[in-house]
């Protein structure tokens, strides 16, 4: 299989244009809740390391076909970005990979537009990957190279980061060749409004947030305004539901004066619920916090 | 689209034979744990309403193609069995349905053999459906009829049963047109050996069980021998892992004399963990108990 170069203009001229709505979520979203359990590495993300957008580009599958890439289940497709990253003191180009079976799925795109506008530099212009359903790290920005390999990328981001380990593994004892490579993302939900620590006037308040289950779909969102003793069904604000997008939800509730404790939990299309407590999923790198999300407010 | 009949011999002669390893699990498996929280309808299944087998037959997709069935995403494929069932006092033939998109998947089979032997009557001879990854109820036994429809089956098993509702819905208030139709099944794990209430000699014991995540795959099984205070990694006993099968696991542990409390929990390929407590998923029909599984033993 030969090497071949495409400009973005050549991609646009050669392949059909596709648009997909998809969430990109950092594997470290909600890490702060794990950091309440115990110290972790990584940035202290609250519930905002996630975004939902409409992405436009061409199918990776079409590009792979055009260059004659084999479609074998034991192959990998590696992406290199133009940005340098520092992993464990090692400086290297950003590099990640996904399995060929995922790479061939029709919603995996090489993208030049976001929400109908050309990509901005911070979102990966001129060209980025969007791998719906996978942790954001696999959607490489500032894409310079795609390579078909018989092994995952050996770039440090792929090989020495973004893996899930049991609670008894630490940054001192970790063997990076083990652990679960974080690709598909689990069920999650968060309260965005009101924010934690906010003061609110007494009376009716609209509670808002998101839930995300990717291709499993979100089937139900439940909100408690009394710390989890009783639950109400939230209303979905997004219509229609997209395959890879989040579902925004709202609940109108009447809050009494005093310190109030809001909680959200979701269920997916397989009836799967979220674990209740972050200590049951703590890991030293602070990935995949999917515990019920709590917000404390003061009602005056 | 016309109607067409096939004998089992004609199916064997007309279509390629396929074999798939798959778990069939009742949506009410582990219902007894939900019944500890509160009364439910349905049979009191412990952890045994599940089985893993190798199924041989022909692809439903091939049969649908042969009769010219359209492949439209808004269609359903309904199965009728020869058995009569009683749902809410209504006597009717067993009938269920699945979406056309699932029906077309290559592992959905019309089956005449189980583990290399002809189906026995109690397993659905002469012909049954096997719908891997879905609740056992969709894998109709004693298959007599397959129908392509623009609506789900209106047989009572499909329309008035096997749906998931929030905890505040009861058998008196249920609106069966709502709720989540239980198809894809959630992550689960159970301890099979030792059994709850068993007496064991002190010393080393091999703890055994299963975990199931279907196409999400089981990534990790953790066992506690002290009621959940500390966790050890179980060893997978099945190798290689099948796409739709369970993973059996073992843990060798040393148990001290006295009452001991064993717990198991699993994580899937998306890093999803199980909810801890059955009261967080209780529903009046006792479906989809996926809480951590506990076994109490007396070590003498």
The token duo for A172 is 């001192």
Beta bridge partners of residue B273, listed in sequence order: B267
Interchain CB distance below 8 Å, A288 and B265: no
Determine the average pLDDT of the residues in B104-127.
98
- Distance, first Cα to last Cα, chain B: 68
Q: Is the pLDDT of residue A241 over 80?
A: no
- What's domain A9-181's architecture? Alpha-Beta Complex (3.90)
Q: What is the rounded CA–CA span in Å between residue A121 and residue A115?
A: 15
Assess contact for B251 and B232: CB atoms under 8 A: yes
> How many CB atoms sit inside 10 A of residue A35's CB?
18
Interchain CB distance below 8 Å, B186 and A272: yes
DSSP symbols for B156-219: HHHHSSSEE--TT--TTT--TTSSEE--B---EEEEEESPTT-EE-SEEEEEEEEEE-GGG-EE
Q: What is the rounded CA–CA span in Å between residue A7 and residue B72?
A: 37
pLDDT digits (tens, 9 = 90+) for B137-176: 999 999 999 999 999 999 999 999 999 999 999 999 999 9
Determine the average pLDDT of the residues in A204-229.
96
Q: What is the rounded CA–CA span in Å between residue B159 and residue B152?
A: 8
pLDDT digits (tens, 9 = 90+) for A21-57: 999 999 999 999 999 999 999 999 999 999 999 999 9
Q: Is the pLDDT of residue B239 over 80?
A: no
Beta bridge partners of residue A203, listed in sequence order: A255
Q: What is the rounded CA–CA span in Å between residue B26 and residue B44?
A: 12
Q: Report which of B181, B245, B239 is spatially closest to residue B216, judged by C-alpha positions.
A: B245
Assess contact for A32 and A1: CB atoms under 8 A: no
Domain boundaries, given as residue ranges, for chain A: 9-181, 188-299
Determine the average pLDDT of the residues in B73-82.
96
What is the CA angle A21-A24-A27, rounded to 5? 155
Residues of B in contact with A183 (CB under 8 A): 269-270
The confidence band for A275, taking pLDDT boundaries of 50, 70 and 90, is very high
Cβ neighbourhood burial of B152 (10 Å; 0-12, 13-18, 19+): middle
Interchain CB distance below 8 Å, A271 and B186: yes
Q: By CA distance, what is B271's nearest residue in A?
A: A186
What fold, for A188-299?
Immunoglobulin-like (2.60.40)
Residues of B in contact with A281 (CB under 8 A): 271, 273
Interchain CB distance below 8 Å, B184 and A277: no
Percent of chain A whose pLDDT exceeds 70:
99
Write the CB contacts of B117 (distance below 8 Å, at least 6 apart in sequence): none
pLDDT digits (tens, 9 = 90+) for B1-53: 678 999 999 999 999 999 999 999 999 999 999 999 999 999 999 999 999 99
Assess contact for A145 and A154: CB atoms under 8 A: no
Residues of A in contact with B265 (CB under 8 A): 280
Nearest CA-CA distance, residue B234 and chain A, Å = 12
Nearest CA-CA distance, residue B11 and chain A, Å = 30
B/e letters for A190-219, b = 16+ CB within 10 Å, e = fewer, are bbbebeeeeeeeeeebebebbbbbbebbbb
pLDDT digits (tens, 9 = 90+) for A83-134: 998 877 878 999 999 999 999 999 999 999 999 999 999 999 999 999 999 9
Size of interface A-B (CB pairs under 8 A): 87
Interchain CB distance below 8 Å, A186 and B272: yes
Interchain CB distance below 8 Å, B180 and A273: no
- ipTM here: 0.95
The confidence band for A239, taking pLDDT boundaries of 50, 70 and 90, is low
Q: What is the CATH number of domain B8-181?
A: 3.90.420.10
Residue B282, SS3 per DSSP: coil
The confidence band for A240, taking pLDDT boundaries of 50, 70 and 90, is low
DSSP code, position B134: B
Residue B54, SS3 per DSSP: strand
Assess contact for A93 and A165: CB atoms under 8 A: no
Residues of B in contact with A247 (CB under 8 A): none
The confidence band for B242, taking pLDDT boundaries of 50, 70 and 90, is confident
Nearest CA-CA distance, residue B168 and chain A, Å = 9
Residues of B in contact with A290 (CB under 8 A): 271-273
What number of H helices and E strands is found in chain B? 5, 19
Give the least confident one: A89-93, A245-249, A265-269.
Answer: A89-93
Q: By CA distance, what is A221's nearest residue in B?
A: B166
Interchain CB distance below 8 Å, B184 and A270: yes
Interchain CB distance below 8 Å, A271 and B182: yes
Q: What is the rounded CA–CA span in Å between residue A280 and residue A34?
A: 10
Q: Sign of dihedral through CA atoms B88, B90, B93, B99?
A: negative
Determine the average pLDDT of the residues in B102-120.
98
């Amino acid at each position: 299989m030969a090497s071949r170069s495409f400009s973005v203009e050549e991609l646009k001229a050669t392949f059909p244009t596709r648009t997909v709505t998809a969430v990109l979520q950092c594997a470290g979203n909600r890490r702060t809740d794990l950091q309440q359990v115990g110290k972790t590495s990584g940035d202290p993300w609250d519930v905002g390391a996630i975004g939902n957008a409409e992405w436009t580009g061409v199918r990776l599958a079409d590009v792979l076909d055009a260059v004659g890439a084999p479609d074998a289940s034991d192959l990998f497709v590696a992406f290199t970005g133009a940005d340098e990253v520092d992993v464990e003191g090692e400086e290297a180009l950003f590099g990640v990979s996904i399995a060929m079976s995922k790479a061939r799925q029709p919603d995996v795109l090489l993208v030049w537009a976001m929400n109908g506008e050309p990509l901005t530099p911070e979102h990966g212009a001129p060209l980025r990957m969007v791998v719906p359903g996978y942790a954001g790290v696999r959607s490489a920005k500032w894409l310079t190279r795609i390579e078909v390999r018989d092994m995952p990328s050996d770039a440090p981001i792929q090989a020495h980061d973004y893996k899930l380990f049991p609670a008894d593994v630490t940054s001192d004892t970790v063997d990076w060749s083990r652990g679960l490579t974080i690709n598909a993302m689990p069920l999650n939900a968060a309260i965005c409004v009101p924010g934690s620590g906010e003061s609110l006037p007494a009376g009716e308040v609209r509670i808002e947030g998101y839930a995300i289950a990717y291709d499993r779909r979100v089937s139900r969102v439940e909100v408690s305004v009394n710390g989890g003793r009783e639950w109400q069904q939230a209303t979905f604000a997004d219509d229609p539901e997209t395959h890879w997008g989040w579902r925004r939800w709202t609940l109108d509730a009447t809050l009494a004066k005093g310190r109030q404790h809001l909680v959200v939990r979701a269920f997916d299309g397989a009836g799967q619920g979220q674990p209740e407590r972050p200590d049951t999923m703590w890991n030293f790198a602070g990935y995949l916090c999917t515990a019920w999300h709590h917000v404390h407010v003061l009602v005056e």
